[in-house]
Amino acid sequence: DGGITQSPKYLFRKEGQNVTLSCEQNLNHDAMYWYRQDPGQGLRLIYYSQIVNDFQKGDIAEGYSVSREKKESFPLTVTSAQKNPTAFYLCASSKDRGNTDTQYFGPGTRLTVL
């Protein structure tokens, strides 16, 4: 089946630890995105990538890092520098870069910092 997968579905982390969230897509989409969603708030953009080996910061990139070594994969690392990492993390992709194509979302990862 074509789609976007994220793993794990639930993740628990101790304070001070880095953790990496996986996002994979087999849709052959050029662009990929990471958002976080907090209760009562809209999705906020962390990072996005329009092409392999290139990515840009979104509105709330501090404390996060990404890589885009393969077209299919866009992992997000939540570092210990992120002050309030507990949130619902959503990965998305869209077919073309630099235009307004529809975004499709993965099922998300719920990160809880203990």
* Residues forming the site for other proteins (CB under 8 A): 31, 33, 35, 40-45, 48, 50, 58, 88, 90, 97-100, 102-108, 110
Shorter beta-carbon distance to other proteins: residue 54 or 62: 54
Smallest gap, in angstroms, from Cβ of residue 112 to other proteins? 13
Minimum gap (Å) between residue 80 Cβ and other proteins: 26
Residue 16 CB, shortest distance to other proteins, in Å, is 27
CB of 97 to other proteins, least distance (A): 7
Query: Is the Cβ–Cβ distance between 14 and 114 less than 8 Å?
Result: yes
DSSP labels, 19-53: EEEEEEE-S--SEEEEEEE-TTS--EEEEEEEETT
Nearer to other proteins, 22 or 105 (CB): 105
Closer residue to other proteins, CB minimum distance, 5 or 28:
5
The residue among 10 and 114 lying less far from other proteins, judged by its C-beta, is 10
Q: Is the peptide bond before 8 cis (omega within 30 degrees of 0)?
A: yes
Output helix, strand, coil percentages for the chain, rounded to the nearest 5: 0, 50, 50
Q: Quick one: residue 27, left, alpha or beta (phi over 0 = left, psi -120 to 50 = alpha)?
A: alpha
